[in-house]
């Protein structure tokens, strides 16, 4: 694209982000402040993830972009088209063929491998934000490893509902130290963060924070002995591919209450259907 650098960002901005990423990897789960730049897409639409992707992407990389697990949702299409245009990289919808995967709200069902990098778009990187709105305060809480309030919040859920009523963006503890927001993935995906083969990078553009979970890192979802962490389950399999191990989206099929459940990961579903056929 004329007038812009490879992958849109100028080299100085990339270097600033790259230095931040190295610190993020060295301090797993800690939110590194970075000089987030405006991107030619609105804040909240993945600008943090895009800045990280732009900073790590090379001309030989194959890129996959998903939103809600799907390659064909409009924002995924738009971000993929952006990188095709500004970096000229090859793109794919196949999880296994991608070097870099940018995602919003899901971790692919197909297990990731070493050498792959998963880049998360993060809206609110601070897991304590809904308990304590002040950045000054939450920074101190992280510094002192003072996470009692988070447990109180979760326990209040239990007292009120009999359950921990957090279903997505479910907080985790990384390598036994930092309480971290896994981005708004469903808690169904939380176990995939633990001892992952792939490096996972998180970018929050508007909030100007980036953080990382290296491969082979302990990631525990916060819970209680008498209320252990559990993931969502469905009574029926995917209506298209029959999968019983994937996160299912509910699809309304008529106006009299008819509905079906299908995989949210379109690539996974497609591949399973092809295998069956």
Partner 1 sequence: MRWQGFSDPVQDGQRHFRRVLAAMAEPGTLHDAAATAVPEDAAIGPALWATLLSLCDLDTRLWIAPGLEAGGLADAVTFHTGCRKVATPDGADFALVTPATLVDPAPVFAEGSDAYPDRSTTLLVVLDALAEGGPWRLTGPGIPDTRGLDVGEATALMTRLAANRARFPQGLDAILGCGDCLAAIPRSTRLAGPVSATPEEDRTCTSQ
Partner 2 sequence: MYVAVKGGEQAIANAHRWLADRRRGDRERDALSVAQLAEQMNLAVDRVMAEASLYDPELAALALKQASGDLVEAVFLLRAYRTTLPRLAETVALDTGAMRLERRVSATYKDVPGGQVLGPTYDYTHRLLDFLQLADGEVPEPARAEQALEACPPILEQLDAEGLIERETDDGAEPYDITRDPPDFPVDRATRLQMLARGDEGYLLALGYSTQRGYGRNHPFAGEIRIGTLEVEIAVEECEAPVCIGEIALSECQMINQFAGSRDRAPQFTRGYGLAFGRNERKTMAMALVDRALRAEELGEPVQGPAQQPEFVLAHADSVEASGFVSHLKLPHYVDFQSELELLRRLRSAHGQPDGAEDSRETVDDGGKKKEPAVEQDTNESEQVSP
> Which residues inside 74-93 make contact with partner 1, applying CB under 8 A?
none
SS3 24: helix
Q: Is 139 in the site for partner 1 (CB under 8 A)?
A: yes
Q: Give the Cα separation of 34 and 62 in Å (integer).
A: 26
State the binding partner of 95 from partner 2, partner 1, none, CB within 5 to 8 A by kind: none
192-221 binders of partner 1 (CB under 8 A) = 195, 199, 212-218, 220
Catalytic member of 203, 241, 242, 258: 241
In whole angstroms, the minimum distance from the beta carbon of 162 to partner 2 comes to 4
Q: Assess whether 238 carries a catalytic annotation.
A: yes
Q: For residues 217 and 134, give the distance between their C-alpha atoms in angstroms, rounded to a whole number.
A: 29
Catalytic residue among 36, 69, 203, 263: 263
49 is catalytic: no
Residue 216 binding result from partner 1, partner 2, none, given CB thresholds of 5 to 8 Å by partner type: partner 1
Q: How far is CA 124 from CA 84, 119, 158, 207, in A?
A: 27, 15, 24, 7
Contacts of residue 177, defined as CB under 8 A and 6 or more positions apart, other chains included, come to 28, 29, 145
Measured in degrees and rounded to the nearest 5, phi and psi for residue 168 equal: -145, 170
Query: Closest distance between partner 2 and the C-beta of residue 209, in Å?
Result: 8
- Show Cβ contacts of residue 235 under 8 Å, excluding neighbours closer than 6 positions: none
Strand segments (E) across 45-193: 62-67, 90-91, 100-104, 117-121, 172-174, 178-180
Per-residue contact string for residues 110-129; x = within reach of partner 1 by CB under 8 A: ----xx--------------
Binding site for partner 1 (CB under 8 A): 5-6, 11-12, 14-16, 18-28, 30, 32-33, 56-59, 114-115, 139-140, 142-144, 147-148, 151, 173, 175-178, 195, 199, 212-218, 220, 222-223
């Amino acid at each position: 694209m004329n007038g812009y650098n490879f992958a849109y960002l100028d080299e100085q901005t990339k270097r600033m982000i790259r230095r931040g990423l190295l610190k993020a990897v060295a301090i797993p789960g800690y939110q590194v402040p970075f000089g987030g730049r405006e991107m030619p897409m609105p804040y909240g639409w993945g600008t943090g993830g895009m800045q990280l992707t732009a900073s790590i992407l090379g001309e030989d990389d194959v890129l996959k972009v998903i939103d809600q697990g799907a390659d064909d949702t409009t924002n995924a299409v738009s971000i993929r088209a952006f990188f095709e245009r500004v970096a000229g990289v090859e793109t794919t919808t196949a999880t296994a063929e991608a070097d870099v995967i940018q995602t919003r709200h899901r971790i692919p069902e197909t297990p990731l491998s070493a050498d792959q990098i998963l880049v998360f778009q993060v809206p609110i990187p601070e897991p304590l934000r809904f308990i304590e709105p002040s950045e000054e305060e939450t920074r101190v809480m992280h510094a002192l490893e003072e996470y009692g309030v988070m447990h109180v919040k979760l326990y209040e859920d239990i007292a009120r509902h009999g359950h921990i009523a957090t279903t997505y963006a479910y907080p985790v503890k990384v390598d036994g130290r930092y309480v971290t927001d896994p981005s708004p993935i469903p808690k169904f995906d939380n176990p995939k963060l633990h001892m992952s083969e792939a490096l996972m990078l998180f970018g929050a553009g508007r909030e100007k924070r980036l953080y990382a979970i290296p491969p082979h890192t302990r990631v525990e979802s916060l819970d209680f002995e008498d209320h252990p962490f559990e993931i969502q389950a469905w009574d029926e399999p995917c209506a298209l591919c029959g999968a019983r191990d994937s996160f299912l989206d509910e699809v309304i099929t008529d106006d009299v209450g008819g509905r079906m459940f299908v995989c949210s990961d379109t690539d996974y579903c497609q591949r399973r259907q092809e295998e069956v056929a």
